Structure formats: structure tokens, C-alpha cells
Amino acid sequence: MAACVAQARVYRDRIFAWYAMYATITAVAVAAFTGAGAHLLWPGFGALADAPMPMLASAAGAAAVLFVRNLVGLRRRFPLQDRLMLVLGILGVLIALLPPFTPKSITMPAVGGYLAFATLAAVAVGFSAWLRGDEVGKWVFAAYLPMTASVILSFLRIFGWVPVSFGSQYAVVAAMTIEVPLLLVALTIRSRDRHGAEIREQALTSHDALTGLLAPHLFQDRLRLVVARHQRSGESAAVMFIDLVNYCPIKERFGTAVAEQSLLRSVIKLRRLLRDVDTVARMGEARFGVVLEGATLRSSVTERGARLIAAGLMPLPGLKPEVTLQFHVAALLLNERALEAQQIEEVLSEQLARMSPRTRRPIRFIAPEVPLNSEPGPLSSMFPADAARSRPPLTAVG
């Protein structure tokens, strides 16, 4: 019970608090039924005479009904059953107030009838949940089945159809002893499923659902950290934006399923070229962002880009339809052009936008920073067509 209270606080999950309340009331009810409560817990308390036992029995039934209602999760899926179980739980609380003020001829049938009805309701809810494929329902049904048998046995003993014996007298106690741990198992399963769903929900906010790559906002955070580290210590890195150029034609010709398969193939080919420490994210419908930490030379970036382009042009054996992947790569080295993270994204996007689908230069770098009025360096002379164009410094191509 203490552990459940702590878990309710840590996980902020009220279902653990419901179980702690249910287990506490059940334990005190068992203590009252066996006489241990009057002997050890309240030996000098006689104001209620022998009323605590039926009061606690009714309260235990109400706590069980309310706990099962929350455990199975009726509120969202079955609102009518949820309201009926809520009414049944409130009725148990009201019946628990009767024993001090009414004679036993009224109290005992009311408490006995309520416990029988509450137990059958819990069994029915658990069984219906089990039929729907809910694993929690199976454990709820198993927990309350012995209680149902013990309640039936108690009624048979009251009418004299079953002889009074130790077993018939303490069947309810035995059933409660079985019921409490089985419901704890059901609670553990429900908590595991709920936390698993929360983890998946968090993963959807941080990773792309189709490819499993990082989401754009996390890539931007990583990029800002890399830029800040370069400004602080001079550690270089390469930033690449990669477009699957023929994604839209594939989608128009073969459909969405083949286009998504092409994206997954692209991710597989891309991951084979990267290290575990490299950052890769999906930045758009058919665009990927990569940060190669520690890269200082264009040759290493060019090698990866060339291998990716070559791998995309080789269709998988037996693939139907035979779809090749065409990639364009825009890259920037921080030791050549130290820009802010947002500027890096802008210039790389602009570079990809200027590239023709049939270009012969699918790998292009952002030109290094050149002082004003300086002569063109060897990098600009490598591509005279680009060097002849008039472009702003931030968007020049090396």
C-alpha cells in the first residue's frame, strides 16, 4: 500500500492511489471479520458495538467496484457501464452508513445483497473486458471469481444448505487474500501498457513516425550545439542536406506506398554511410539533414555523398517496381563558413533549390568565406560557370 502511494505520487497516476485505498479498506475489513481488528486495532472502542464489520465489508465492496471501474477504463469506452459502476460504488458507501442506525434484520440482508451484486458486477466487467482482448480483464475476472464462489457459499450457509465449518466461515477471507494480489498484477499490467503508450507518444514527438529519424526541431537543437562548440573551441563539423529528388515522380507514378518504401530505402542506405555519433534527421517530405561531427575536409563529405548517390542508382535485386533513387547533396564545412544554425539551414535549402534535377554536379558545397576585393581562389576556379554568376556571399557555391 505504501509502495502504491509512492508510485501514485512519482508517476502521477491516480490508479495506484485507488489501489492503495482499496487494499487498505480490504485489509481492515478482513481484520474486522476475523476479530483481529477488535483485539489489536480498536480493543477499547465500543461506541459502534459490532457495526464495524458490516460497515467495513460494505466499504470494501464499494472500494473494489470503484477500483475495477478505473482499472478497466470504462469511462472512455463504455460510459453507460461506467456510470452504473459509479452508482454501485456510491451505493456501497451509503449502505456502509446504515449498521450503526438500523437493526441487523435490515443491515445484514442489505450488506449481503450489496456484496453479492458488487462481486457479480466486477466479474461481469472483467469477463467482458477479457472477451474484448484486454489482458487486464482476464486478471480481474480471475481475482473476483473466488469472491463470487465465497459469497454464494455464505448465502448457502445462511439458509442452512451448507454446514457451518471453518472453510465456509472463512471462505470470504480466503477469497480476499487471493483477490488483492491478483488485482495488483492487473494494475501492474495496466501501468506497463499506459507507460508504454506514453513512451511511444513521446517518441512520436521526437522522431519521425515513418523513418524513425530525429524530428526537425531536435536536429536544429543539435545543430545549434555543434555551431556553439565550433565558436567556442574551433571544433569543425560538416552539415549536409540531402534531397531524394525523384520522390514526387515516384509518388505520382507508383503511389504513396512505393514512395514511402523509397524513403525507407534511402534511410537504410544513408545509415550505412554514417557513424553512430553522426546526427541524421528527416527535415521535410523527402529531405534529410546530417551533421558529421569532426569533419574538416571536403573529401570525406564528398566520399559519403558519392557512395550514397551510387547506392541509390542500384535497385534492389527482385524489387518490383525497379525504382532507382536520385539524390542531391548540399554541404557546408564550419571551418570554411562559420554561420549560425538558422543561416546554415537557409543557405543549404537555397543551394538545393537551385540545383537542376538533371545536374551533373549532385554534390555541392557552400563556398568558403572570401575577404572582400580578394582574387578568386582555386575553389571558385574549379567551377567557372558558377564563379561567373553574381551571387550573394552566403549563397555562393564552391
State the burial class of residue 331 (Cβ atoms within 10 Å of its Cβ: 0-12, 13-18, 19+). buried
Do 59 and 199 share a structural domain? yes
What are the CA-CA distances from residue 255 to residues 248, 252, 315 (Å)?
10, 6, 18
Q: Is-contact 56 32, C-beta < 8 A?
A: yes
Over range 253-259, report the average pLDDT: 90
How many whole angstroms separate alpha carbon 270 and alpha carbon 294?
Answer: 18
Residue 99, C-alpha cell as written in the block? 449498521
Which of 166, 182, 206 corresponds to the end of one domain? 206
Do 26 and 59 share a structural domain? yes
Do 267 and 178 share a structural domain? no
Do 251 and 171 share a structural domain? no
Domain presence at residue 31? yes
At 198 the pLDDT is 66
Do 172 and 291 share a structural domain? no
Do 360 and 285 share a structural domain? yes
Query: What phi and psi, each to the nearest 5 degrees, are found at residue 214?
Result: -65, 150
CATH of the domain at 280: 3.30.70.270
> What's the total number of domains in the chain?
2
366 pLDDT tier (thresholds 50, 70, 90): very high
Do 181 and 36 share a structural domain? yes
On the question of pLDDT at 122 being above 60, the answer is: yes
Domain presence at residue 211? no
At 226 the pLDDT is 92
Do 274 and 173 share a structural domain? no
76, 79, 81, 87 alpha-carbon torsion, rounded to 10°:
110
Q: Domain limits at 59?
A: 2-206
Domain presence at residue 202? yes
**pLDDT 10s digits, 100-121:** 888 878 888 888 888 888 888 8
For residue 397, the cross-strand partners are 366
396 pLDDT tier (thresholds 50, 70, 90): very low
At 205 the pLDDT is 66
Do 144 and 113 share a structural domain? yes
Do 303 and 155 share a structural domain? no
Give the angle 104-150-87 at the CA atoms, nearest 5°.
Answer: 65
First-to-last CA distance in the chain?
A: 68
Residues ≥6 apart with Cβ < 8 Å to 23: 1, 4, 180, 184
pTM for the structure as a whole: 0.52
